[in-house]
Structure formats: structure tokens, C-alpha cells
Amino acid sequence: MADVRVTYDPVVNAAYVYFTEPQVTVPSAHTYPCDPIDVDGMINLDFDADGRLIGIEILAADTKLPRYMLEGAERLERP
């Protein structure tokens, strides 16, 4: 199974799951917000210009992702 990069910002309780190679930055061409009522929160799917899923943003991440994933996530530093 491929490694997946996950970042987490505990200050705003948001995580991002990347489906791109770590050294490659792919700009999002389209964001599809999932219905917050259906998912009981806010989850955004990011797609590239070719329609490939490149990442998922998860708000209120501590209620949506398993604890082990957040504990192992790369912490984002704030200035």
C-alpha cells in the first residue's frame, strides 16, 4: 500500500490527506464540498485539472479521523 501524507493543524482542528507525491505540488482546479449535514461536518474534495482526486480537507478532524492518523500526522507550524 502506498504511503499517504497527512498534515494536521491542531489550532484549527483541520487535517489534509494528500494523494500526490510528497515532493510535487499539484494545484487544485476544483473543490467539491461534501454536504455538511450528510457527513456531520465539513469535508472538501480537491481535484486537479484532469479530474483526479489530489486531496481531502477535513475540518473538525478529531471527530472524523482515527486518533492514530492524527497522532502520526505531520504537524503544521504557525509563525
User: Does an H or E element contain 45, and which?
Assistant: strand 43-47
Number of domains the chain contains: 1
**CA 40: distance to chain centroid?**
16
Q: What is the per-residue pLDDT for 1?
A: 59
Q: What is the per-residue pLDDT for 24?
A: 75
Cell 497522532, residue?
71
Which range, of 7-11, 33-37, 41-45, averages the lowest pLDDT? Answer: 33-37
| Distance, CA of 37 to CA of 63 (rounded, Å) | 14
What is the average pLDDT across 15-26? 83
DSSP 6-20: EEEETTTTEEEEE-S
Write out the residue range of the structural domain in which residue 28 sits.
Answer: 5-75
Tens-digit pLDDT profile for residues 45-75: 999 999 999 999 999 999 999 999 999 999 9
pTM equals 0.86
Percent of the chain whose predicted confidence (pLDDT) is above 70: 94
**CA 41: distance to chain centroid?**
13
